[in-house]
Structure 1
Amino acid sequence: MINISLFLLLSCSALVLLEAYGFRDETDRQALLEFKSQVSEGKRAVLSSWNNSYPLCKWKGVTCGRKHKRVTSLSLEGLQLGGVISPSIGNLSFLSYLNLTDNSFGGIIPHEIGGVVPSELGSLTKLVALFLYRNNLKGKLPASLGNLTALNSLDLGDNNIQGGFPDSMARLTQIVGLSLAMNEFSGVIPPAIYNLSTLEYLSIADNHFSGSLRPDFGNLLPKIRELNMGRNGLTGAIPTTLANISTLEKFGIDVNNMTGSISPNFGNLQNLQFLLLGQNSLGSYSTGDLAFIGALTNCTRLEILEVASNKLGGDLPTSIANLSTNLNDLSLGKNLITGSIPHNIGNLINLQEFAIGGNMLTGPIPTSIGKILGLRLLYLHTNRFSGEIPSSIGNLTWLENLDVANNSLEGTIPQSIGNCSSMLHLKIASNKLNGTIPREVLEIRSLIHLSMSNNYLIGSVPKDIGRLENLVGLYAAHNKLSGELPQSLGKCLSMVQLHLQENSFDGTIPDIRRLVDVRAVDLSRNRLSGTIPEYFVNFSKLKYLNLSINNLEGRVPAQGKFKNATIVSVFGNQHLCGGIKELKLKPCIVQEPPMETKHSSRLKKVVIGVSVGITLLLVLFTCLVSLRWFIKRKKQQHTDSTTPSSLEILHEKISYGDLRNATDGFSSSNMIGSGSFGTVFKALLPTENKVVAVKVLNMQRRGAMKSFMAECESLKDIRHRNLVKLLTACSSIDFQGNQFRALIYEFMPNGSLDMWLHPEEVEDIRRPSRTLTLLERLNIAIDVASVLDYLHVHCHEPRAHCDLKPSNVLLDDDLTAHVSDFGLARILLKFDKEYFLNQLSSAGVRGTIGYAAPEYGTGGQPSIHGDVYSFGVLLLEMFTGKRPTNELFGGNVTLCSYIKSALPEQALDVADESILHSGLRVGFPIAECLRLVFEVGLRCCEESPTNRLATSEVLKELVSVKERFFRARRTTRR
């Protein structure tokens, strides 16, 4: 009996000891040690406590249950662990919480986490929360995750997971939070999601989901509080049933291809805080598009309203000032909104960002903006605001960005702006501002970007501008500034861009040798004197130096940056010499002083005689010309009296004499381009002190008058931010009695797209200082596609451009594209297939060889399909750098066939090499972006007109490529 009792006692003691030393948790211990073995070797030190000599439940990140001592929680967040997730993780059968967020795990998600069936030993059937956010996981989502029926939260965001969302996930009937954001998921919205009626948080943003949302979406997820579907490829309308979800607090579907209207029913959502609808195609550029704003005044908790970059039109409703006082972000930019900002906008006292640039708003900037004391970002650029910059801006001491550029603001720069001590970016360019640069601006020590170009500013640059030590960009070009440039410019050690061209600065170039990071310096078209400083030779980062049209003298260096004529421009300085031969300067030769000779007096007499003779001949010639002019004018009276009335609705016309004076007699030095029907000159209108582009038509050329009238007719009543603006016209006779027709446009400082794509064909003076990046080309393509979509679909009288090509795409200061040259444009009465295929015209080929649609060669009528073809060719040229008439192409080889043969695998081989060297990070999928763009171009260039993409489809495809670009760039930055 004693032996039995002793045996039992020893047995119990043994069990206690075994338990104490980990017998019952041995499965968990081995699973975790196996997990550790799959962690990359360099990171295992973080898990040094994971060893057999240390109690399991005290291992780093491990939590055990109180009763059974099994692992219930594993939290390794933010430890930067690498390697792969071991399948042994599935053996932690008591695990309820797994958090591997913010590491660098690669490979796939092991299917062992969910097992094969829910009850299988070795699966995490008790798991309530699974967080794998921000790793490098790839592959497809294992269907076995659908076995984790107790799961409450699943976060797989910021990985590289591909494919769809398995149907098995519909079994997660307890799930409350689900994030698939920032992955590579594709396909339509997974039906399984519609079955997860318990969801309160859902994010599928930053993926490749496509298709439209079910109309009953709002009825299927009745408990949703946060819904983020932004940055995908979704289409169709926003379901009105979303307004049935009374719990909805945050809704984002920005950067998609959504169409239709923004429903006023959103105003029923009393809990709504975020509404993100930007960068879609919502609205129709018409009255009523903004009706939802009035309804949203009921949403008293609203904090963010973003509807920028859509197709919203109509007047800005005054009710916008009655939105929630909790609003901190209000973004309506890049639409076609008209009207004015209500005077009581200052009611939105908690606003931090107010962005309404890129519209067609008029009137003054309300002074009540100065009441929004917490405002940090104020974007009012590219509208038609008038009046003065209100001095109340000075109340905004937290303001970081102020952009009122490209408006019609007048008056002086308010001194109070110096109170904005947190300002980083001040942009007031392209207005009608006058007066001096206030010294108070120099109190803003934080400034990194100061843009004041294209105004009427006078006086000098403040002497102590060197106080702005953080200034990266100074733009004060195209003003009336004068005096000497201050030496303190040399103290702006962060300077990268210095643009002071087209002013009246005199004196010598200041000592800026310490600005070693500078990349562009433009001091052209001033009155600077003295020699060119030698220190420019040593500026290693300099990409552009323009000292043209000054009074500089002496020897031009031939070393360093001056060896490259594509970087340096010094023409128009009569007393410069030397330099490399490409600068075409006279050699530096020491000249002997002239000696007086006995023939000097005789020579003077000869000169006087010749001068008198020439004067008499000029008088006789002038009389004859005047007589001829008088006779011809009588003949022209009938012609001039029949000038079409379509010009009447343009702004006040300008005279021939004014244009002649403004262009220095139509001097070749002011010529900036030429085309089929005329020549374009740069001119300064003295009456408005404004730089413009003047297109003078060659009236001797057949069809010039028709071209003139077509352009007037096309541009008189169409309005779009990416169309070149026709300011006025001239219908007159010149001093010889000939017909004279000219069109005056806003001036585009960056010239034509053609110049940027083919800089080798441009003379040095106008050659761009760099090439276009991939993103800049995408933006330009989207701008042009937006114009075509407007002309073809949304214009009150649809019309075709008929001559789209790079030389007709002009670029402003910010490289925003503006389509020009409507000399061949046609108003379209029909778009139907039968009309297009059967009607012929005797007018012959429309447009330019290489860009004109093939059907135009057989007499086809102008059409939207023809424009799409031209756009396709333009798109291919933009990304290959090759004209359709390149010598490579001939016979059966065309630009289209050249690219088609390279896809899908060899997109990089046909791309413009300058794109491949534009600073993209290693790992950036440039080949994919190029392939997608080329595919859009080829679909536009289909032989059959009816097979070509519609402009609305083109726009959506290009926007989608742009968003892929941004996603890829974010990924490569990690």
Structure 2
Amino acid sequence: MELPLILNMGLIFFFLWSSSYLLAPSGVDAMRAIPFGNETDYLSLLAFKDQIIHDPSKALGSWNNSIHFCDWEGVACSRKHQQRVIALDLSSCGLVGSLSPSIGNLTFLHRLHLENNGFISEIPLELGRLRRLKHLNLSFNSFQGVIPVNLTYCLELLTLDLSGNQLKGKIPVDVASLTKLGELNLANNSLTGFIPPSIGNLSSLETLQLYVNHLHGSIPEEISQLTNLQYLRVSVNDLTGTIPGRLYNMSSLIRFSVASNDLQGRLPPDIGITLPNLQRLLLDLNQFYGPIPATLANASELSFIAMSGNNFSGRVPSELGRLAGLRYINLQDNQLEAKNARGWEFIDSLVNCSQLEILALDQNILGGMLPSSVVNLSSHLQVLVMGNNQISGRIPHGIGNLANLNALGLGENHLTGTIPESMGMLSRLEMLALHMNRFTGQIPFSLGNLTLLTGLFMYQNYLQGPIPPSLGNLQHLSHLDLSNNHFSGTIPKEIVSLPSLSIFFDLSSNSLVGSLPREIGSLKNLPILNISRNMLSGNIPSTLGDCEILEVLHLHNNLFQGIIPQSVRNIKGLQELDLSHNNLTGPIPVFLEDLNQLENLNLSFNHLEGEVPVKGVFKNATQVSVEGNNGLCGGVPELHLPPCRGRSSKKRQWPLLLKIVIPVAVAASCVSLLLSFFILRQKRKPKNGTPIVPLLEDQFPRVSYTELVRATEGFSSTNLIGRGGYGSVYKGILGPQQTTVAVKVFNLQCRGASKSFLAECEVLRSARHRNLVKIMTSCSMVDYRGTDFKALVFEFIPNGSLEKWLHPVLDEHHHSESLSLLQRLNIAVDVAEAIDYLHNNCQPSIVHCDLKPSNVLLDNEMVAHVADFGLARFMSKATPSSLTDKSSSIRIRGSLGYIAPEYGAGGRVSTSGDVYSYGILLLEMLTGKKPVDDMFEDGLSLRKFVEIAFPDGIMAIVDPLMPLAEEESKIYECLISMASIGLSCSNELARKRSNMSDVATTMHAIRDAYL
């Protein structure tokens, strides 16, 4: 009885199996038919595919019935549970679309990696069904909304990475239930609120990254319960308070980062004792102060120290030399000191750190002689930067011992002597910055051995002799600046033959002679060429037209002769052309009308003759300067040139014109059209490479539009910190070090914006002073829509403008901080020193042209930095400071209330105009009243207001918000002195104003007397 039953059961099973086989697709499909029970996974994957609207890499091309879904790209199935999906990995495929809720049906899924794609919308709640999920990475997409609370149902989750999206809301408190979670990364989102204390329940957590959000409050004490934590990073938030004391007892902590917050206070003196296993310490961009604790050396495992952008002071502790595994030290942008040999003892001690690779000490107040022991540092040292300090003496001759050095930065110090010949032994050097020192002698011939060098900066020294032709060996050199020295001889053709020069090439303000080599045409990738203010002669070579990518060309103040070569017409993107102060002859070429990008053309003080064109750049007289050419006529009326004499035509000329000239012209036109058609076709071919960006510093090489979009969160209004006449300024977080910057985006639809961009580039590239805002880099390319985009990236000055402090907005309780008298004195001294530097220590002198409180920025220490050089002008060294710059126009420059009276009457730009603006600014600081205040009418002005009260009634007009607590007589004397300087500087007659050097000296004396 049992056997027939068994046979019957077997027949039934065979029938069911054969039926499913017969109903399955034929051929390959039949062999790979979906077995019963796995339709859910198959259909879930198809639903996932249906939500993808763009698949540029064809990652889902294999997702069809030709092969089994377990063989689809990015899909992995289980061996234990056959044909059940356990992994879906489609990272970096460029996929765009929504994440289908059906993903929650892949119940055997262990790993889901979709990072670095273009997923949008919200993260589906159905992910909470994936109870077996161990690794979830959705980072660097465009997910929005909140973090799904029911992710906490994924009890097996080991890693969770949702960074780089646009998630909002708070960190779910329930995340604490993920007790097996080892890595939690929610960085680069828009999360708000506090860090929940319950996060301390994640007992297995090893990595916690919450940086670049909007979290506030303090770091909860409960984090100290995470005994397995190795990496903690909460950079770039709005966290406050101090670092929890119990955090220092976490024995397994490997990396501790609280960079870019508002944390204040001193470091605990026992930090090294309480963190014995610490390997990486990141405290960048906070407000820590006081000395660096010597006990830090007790953290014997420490290899990485980053403390830049704080207010640490005192000496660098020599005890750091005990850290045998130390590889990285970044202490830049602090107040660290070294006045003598004792202050430099830390260099002697670091000789013991045989693994040291990076030593960054720039932007401190290190002084005294650079110790010779610096040449005995680790043979692994790759970066040594000590720029922007007060270091004196010579560079030790043994500097060539640092054979693996990639970057050496010693610019902006007080170094003297000659550049050591041994520097040519640094064969791996890529960047060498020795600018703004007091070096003498010649450039060593051995520098030609640095064949990997990309940047060479030696401007503003006292170097002399010929420029060595050996520099032509530097086949990777992209930016070269030897300006403002005393070089003589000719320009070596070996240097102008370097096709690698693609950022800028500046030999201006030297004593070079001879002609400009024809090899200049080799610089086909160069956007900025400046060889002005030399004694070069001969004709401008026609090969210059081969430099088709040039945007800025300065050949002024030389002895060039002959005509302007026709080949210049090939430089279609030329924006600024200055050929002034030469001996050029002939007519102004008509082709200059066709250079559509040209915004600044200076042909003044030559021997040009004939009719001035009226189209293109010539339509706007403010963009063209042709004065000093007595043979010119015509042009637009605003140029005030004499009319051209009419040409008489004789009838007997017509037969010749008809028979000879016209046929020849027609034939030439046909040939020209054919050639033009061919050239246009060649030019329309796409060029390889990225847009050339005129960089001004090396900290962020070739910053792109995309990077700036990401840094400013899409130029979000929440990051907008100011608007000006030519654009807007945004706060941003840029670069791998997450540096806070200010990004000035120019509105190129505004007339003069491009010219303002170039002006700021030119001024800030050549001007360096502690009281000038520091430019970091620039961006000149096209945006996503294909339109021109220009921006400047500055250091971020956190305390805003002087305007905000002088005229604060009162809160609901009518309270507001205001500047004390001492703070105002300090700011006045800082501004005076900055303007004095521009007028008297730059070659050539620079006139700011728009000095006002909104262009004076205050840092954390309330040190003033003069900003916004969009209207600035260089002064010709051939004219005294009281006269105009050759490129100045008669239009009014500056802001209403601060403009010198002579500008309004058509006078020329001069240094005395800045002095007037400074005087008004000083009176505004004294009274708290703007020069355009409503009270100033019927002949009353700010200057008149102070003049009437001076000196007896001075106390009656002082800013009522200024706190005055000192001895009354002391205050009175100080205020009288300030008012006197303000009145003197703002005199209506320019000749009666003091020069800025005397003003700065007097302001120093006033402050010293007050102190």
Query: What's the TM-score, normalizing by structure 1?
Result: 0.61
Instruction: Give the aligned residue type for 2:626.
Output: L
Residue of structure 2 in register with 1:89 after alignment: 103
Residues 264, 802 of structure 1: alpha-carbon distance in 2 compared, 3 angstrom cutoff: closer
Q: How does 1:456-855 map to 2 (within 5 A)?
A: 456-495=462-501, 496-511=503-518, 512-536=520-544, 539-556=547-564, 560=569, 567-571=577-581, 576-578=606-608, 582-587=625-630, 769=762, 776=792, 778-779=794-795, 781-782=797-798, 798-800=823-825, 845=927, 849-850=931-932
Q: How does 1:820-899 map to 2 (within 5 A)?
A: 845=927, 849-850=931-932, 859-861=957-959
Q: For residues 925 and 175 of structure 2, what CA distance do their matches in structure 1 show? A: 63
Q: CA deviation at 1:785?
A: 6.1
Unaligned runs of 5+ in 2: 22-32, 585-604, 613-623, 633-745, 765-774, 779-789, 806-816, 857-861, 863-922, 937-941, 947-955, 965-1011
Q: For residues 509 and 195 of structure 2, what CA distance do their matches in structure 1 show? A: 56
Residue of structure 2 in register with 1:325 after alignment: 324
Instruction: Give the aligned residue type for 1:441.
Output: L
Q: For residues 370 and 407 of structure 2, what CA distance do their matches in structure 1 show? A: 16
Instruction: Give the aligned residue type for 2:478.
Output: V
Instruction: Give the aligned residue type for 2:234.
Output: M
Residue of structure 2 in register with 1:305 after alignment: 305
C-alpha deviations, 1:353-410, integer Å up to 9, x for none? 1110000101233333333111111110011111211233212222211110011111
Q: CA deviation at 1:851?
A: 9.7
Q: For residues 468 and 262 of structure 2, what CA distance do their matches in structure 1 show? A: 49
Structure 1 position 341 matched with structure 2 position 357: no
Instruction: Give the aligned residue type for 2:122.
Output: I
Structure 1 position 76 matched with structure 2 position 90: yes
Q: CA deviation at 1:274?
A: 1.0
- 1:185–1:208: 8 Å Cα contact kept in structure 2? yes
Instruction: Give the aligned residue type for 1:326.
Output: G
Structure 1 position 241 matched with structure 2 position 246: yes
SS in 1 for 2:288: coil
SS in 2 for 1:431: coil
Residues 64, 48 of structure 1: alpha-carbon distance in 2 compared, 3 angstrom cutoff: farther
Q: For residues 767 and 223 of structure 1, what CA distance do their matches in structure 2 show? A: 51
Q: For residues 851 and 315 of structure 1, what CA distance do their matches in structure 2 show? A: 48
Residues 203, 842 of structure 1: alpha-carbon distance in 2 compared, 3 angstrom cutoff: closer
Residue of structure 1 in register with 2:996 after alignment: none
Q: CA deviation at 1:335?
A: 0.8
Residue of structure 1 in register with 2:449 after alignment: 443
Q: CA deviation at 1:586?
A: 2.3
Q: CA deviation at 1:548?
A: 3.4
SS in 1 for 2:393: coil
Residues 793, 224 of structure 1: alpha-carbon distance in 2 compared, 3 angstrom cutoff: farther
Residues 552, 213 of structure 1: alpha-carbon distance in 2 compared, 3 angstrom cutoff: same
Residues 807, 144 of structure 1: alpha-carbon distance in 2 compared, 3 angstrom cutoff: farther
Residues 15, 762 of structure 1: alpha-carbon distance in 2 compared, 3 angstrom cutoff: closer
After superposition, the CA RMSD in angstroms is: 4.4
- 1:357–1:379: 8 Å Cα contact kept in structure 2? yes
Structure 1 position 66 matched with structure 2 position 96: no
- 2:55–2:93: 8 Å Cα contact kept in structure 1? no
Q: CA deviation at 1:783?
A: 8.8
Q: CA deviation at 1:441?
A: 0.5
Instruction: Give the aligned residue type for 2:292.
Output: L
- 1:502–1:526: 8 Å Cα contact kept in structure 2? yes
Q: For residues 190 and 422 of structure 2, what CA distance do their matches in structure 1 show? A: 50
Residue of structure 1 in register with 2:292 after alignment: 290
Residues 225, 796 of structure 1: alpha-carbon distance in 2 compared, 3 angstrom cutoff: farther
Q: CA deviation at 1:420?
A: 1.5
Q: For residues 141 and 437 of structure 2, what CA distance do their matches in structure 1 show? A: 49
Residues 795, 546 of structure 1: alpha-carbon distance in 2 compared, 3 angstrom cutoff: farther
Q: CA deviation at 1:331?
A: 0.3
Residues 848, 781 of structure 1: alpha-carbon distance in 2 compared, 3 angstrom cutoff: farther
Residue of structure 2 in register with 1:621 after alignment: none
Q: For residues 42 and 278 of structure 2, what CA distance do their matches in structure 1 show? A: 48
* Segment drifting more, 357-366 vs 518-527: 518-527
C-alpha deviations, 1:145-170, integer Å up to 9, x for none? 12222322211122232222223323
Q: For residues 76 and 767 of structure 1, what CA distance do their matches in structure 2 show? A: 45
Residues 845, 82 of structure 1: alpha-carbon distance in 2 compared, 3 angstrom cutoff: closer
C-alpha deviations, 1:819-839, integer Å up to 9, x for none? 9999xx9xxxxx9xxxxxxxx
SS in 2 for 1:32: helix
Residues 39, 562 of structure 1: alpha-carbon distance in 2 compared, 3 angstrom cutoff: closer
Residues 551, 103 of structure 1: alpha-carbon distance in 2 compared, 3 angstrom cutoff: closer
Query: What's the TM-score, normalizing by structure 2?
Result: 0.59
Residue of structure 2 in register with 1:7 after alignment: 8
C-alpha deviations, 1:97-132, integer Å up to 9, x for none? 323334333332110111xxxxxxxx1122222222
Residue of structure 1 in register with 2:657 after alignment: none
C-alpha deviations, 1:702-746, integer Å up to 9, x for none? xxxxxxxxxxxxxxxxxxxxxxxxxxxxxxxxxxxxxxxxxxxxx
- 2:242–2:264: 8 Å Cα contact kept in structure 1? yes
- 1:552–1:576: 8 Å Cα contact kept in structure 2? no
Unaligned runs of 5+ in 1: 115-122, 590-752, 826-830, 832-840, 867-974
- 2:560–2:582: 8 Å Cα contact kept in structure 1? no
Residue of structure 2 in register with 1:29 after alignment: 42
Q: CA deviation at 1:321?
A: 2.6
Residues 108, 758 of structure 1: alpha-carbon distance in 2 compared, 3 angstrom cutoff: closer
C-alpha deviations, 1:887-908, integer Å up to 9, x for none? xxxxxxxxxxxxxxxxxxxxxx
Instruction: Give the aligned residue type for 2:140.
Output: R
SS in 1 for 2:351: helix
C-alpha deviations, 1:530-562, integer Å up to 9, x for none? 233344466443333333333334445696479
- 2:393–2:414: 8 Å Cα contact kept in structure 1? yes
Equivalent of 1:107 in 85, 108, 121:
121
Residues 77, 534 of structure 1: alpha-carbon distance in 2 compared, 3 angstrom cutoff: closer
- 2:454–2:477: 8 Å Cα contact kept in structure 1? yes
- 1:566–1:769: 8 Å Cα contact kept in structure 2? no
Q: For residues 852 and 347 of structure 1, what CA distance do their matches in structure 2 show? A: 67
Residues 457, 64 of structure 1: alpha-carbon distance in 2 compared, 3 angstrom cutoff: same
Q: CA deviation at 1:480?
A: 1.8
Aligned length: 664
Q: CA deviation at 1:800?
A: 4.5
- 2:466–2:489: 8 Å Cα contact kept in structure 1? yes
Q: For residues 491 and 419 of structure 1, what CA distance do their matches in structure 2 show? A: 24
Residues 41, 482 of structure 1: alpha-carbon distance in 2 compared, 3 angstrom cutoff: closer
Equivalent of 1:271 in 266, 277, 282:
277
C-alpha deviations, 1:224-243, integer Å up to 9, x for none? 11111112232222222210
Structure 1 position 224 matched with structure 2 position 223: no
- 1:520–1:542: 8 Å Cα contact kept in structure 2? yes
Residues 456, 411 of structure 1: alpha-carbon distance in 2 compared, 3 angstrom cutoff: same
Residue of structure 1 in register with 2:618 after alignment: none
SS in 1 for 2:381: coil
Q: CA deviation at 1:187?
A: 2.7
C-alpha deviations, 1:468-512, integer Å up to 9, x for none? 222222211222211122122221112232222222222222231
Q: For residues 757 and 87 of structure 2, what CA distance do their matches in structure 1 show? A: 68
Q: For residues 5 and 760 of structure 1, what CA distance do their matches in structure 2 show? A: 91
SS in 2 for 1:184: coil
Q: CA deviation at 1:332?
A: 0.4
Residues 805, 260 of structure 1: alpha-carbon distance in 2 compared, 3 angstrom cutoff: closer
Q: What percentage of residue pairs aligned between the two structures are identical?
A: 29
Q: For residues 35 and 289 of structure 1, what CA distance do their matches in structure 2 show? A: 57
Instruction: Give the aligned residue type for 1:290.
Output: I
Instruction: Give the aligned residue type for 1:231.
Output: V
